[in-house]
Amino acid sequence: MIEALSEKALTTIISVVVSAVVGAVISFFATRRNERKSKIAELEKRQSALEEGTKSLLRAEIIRNYEKYVPRGWMPIYAREALQKIQSAYGDLGGNGAMVALVEKLDELPSVEPGGHNDD
């Protein structure tokens, strides 16, 4: 009878220990999953902020070029090449078409200063 009681106690102890270990492992992985989801959400938020900030800077640069070169009546080649890269990046970041009209106006400008000078 003592032997049967010891066997039953041992079985109960093993059951409790296994249940506790399984519960701890499940809890550990659930916590890790939640931490990972939280970290991913934070990284996505930061990525979005970086994209929006970059897009704003690119937009400001397009406007700055417009305000600089349209009154001059010409735009040097190096500035035009930089503008093309800016416009491409702006579009890739989801920039809207509002800047298209400004870029088109800049594209119409000659690459040489009226009167023959090509200095900036």
Q: How many domains does the chain have?
A: 1
Residue 79 in domain: yes
Residue 12 in domain: yes
For residue 99, give its domain range.
2-108
Residue 11's pLDDT is what? 86
Residue 65's pLDDT is what? 98
The tens-digit pLDDT sequence of the chain (120 residues) is 667 668 888 888 888 888 998 899 899 889 999 999 999 999 999 999 999 999 999 999 999 999 999 999 999 999 999 999 999 999 999 998 889 999 999 999 999 988 765 555
Residue 118 in domain: no
Residue 116 in domain: no
Structure tokens at 60: 């400001």
Residue 32 in domain: yes
Q: Report the phi/psi class of residue 3: left, alpha or beta, with left for phi > 0 and alpha for psi in -120 to 50.
A: alpha
Q: Report the C-alpha gap between 37 and 42 in whole angstroms.
A: 9
Residue 98's pLDDT is what? 86
Residue 92's pLDDT is what? 94
pTM of the model: 0.71
Residue 119's pLDDT is what? 54
Residue 117 in domain: no
Residue 117's pLDDT is what? 59
Residue 54 in domain: yes
Burial class (CB in 10 A: 0-12, 13-18, 19+), 91: middle
Residue 119 in domain: no
